[in-house]
Amino acid sequence: MVASRQPHNTTQSPYVPPVPPPYYYPIRPKKDKTWIIVIVIIAVLGLLFIAPTVFFLFFPFSETAHITEFSEDVAISEGGHFKYACEYLSKGDKIQISMTVTEGGPVDVYIMQNDQYEGAYEVSNTSVISFSALFKKENITQLNETYCLNKSIGWREIYVVIDNRDTPLTLNDATPTGSVLVKTEIKTIEIYGWD
């Protein structure tokens, strides 16, 4: 007998291993990082604006940077002068002068830059080559004045001068009558500022 071939069974499927049930990962809500970034930015900006405000409430900003005071009774002989050097003042800084002649006659008060002072006093104490001043009050016995530097002068020294001599280049200056004693108070105020 001849072996017969049996037809291939098409209804039977090949062996497939069993599939394990799917593993379900716990569903986590997605965190929206945008909100976190926005909150951090708002917090940082808030600190940048609020912190200085709180600081200046407790430590108020003063425009005064540095104050230098001079107070003394100054004796000036006839034909002489007294100078007070206000170093390193610049535009916007102030010089307050309070002076009273307690003995003797009237005097002259000037505020001068270094080159003005040298032209009026340094060449010779008796002769004057040139005379100019930022501020002048002449032939006085009392003065209470505040002068504000209104121009940029740089790093030159500024002088407050009390003069007890007759200067030929000024018309209204005091004529000395002898030695004088002057109660003098000078205050220089360096101002913080932004031009």
Three-state secondary structure string covering 76-115: ECCCEEEEEEECCCCCCCEEEEEEEEEECCCEEEEEEEHH
- Specify which residues 162 forms β-bridges with: 82, 109
Q: How far apart are CA 52 and CA 60, in angstroms?
A: 10
Instruction: Report residue 87 CA to chain centroid gap.
Output: 17
Cβ(180)–Cβ(103) under 8 Å?
Answer: yes
Check pLDDT > 80 for residue 124.
no
Residue whose entry in the numeric block shows the structure tokens 């209804």? 11
Higher pLDDT, 31 or 149: 149
Check pLDDT > 60 for residue 9.
no
Q: Model-level pTM? A: 0.64
What is the DSSP-derived secondary structure letter of residue 118? I
Q: Confidence band (pLDDT; 50, 70, 90) for 127?
A: low
- Sheet containing 158-164: give its strands across: 80-86, 158-164, 107-113, 135-140
Comparing 2-16, 50-64, 138-152, 165-179, the range with the smallest average pLDDT is: 2-16
Q: How far apart are CA 180 and CA 64, in angstroms?
A: 34
Check pLDDT > 50 for residue 195.
no
- Tens-place pLDDT, residues 28-71: 666 667 878 888 888 888 888 887 777 777 766 555 567 888 99
Per-residue pLDDT, averaged over 132-147, amounts to 93
SS3 132: coil
Higher pLDDT, 112 or 194: 112
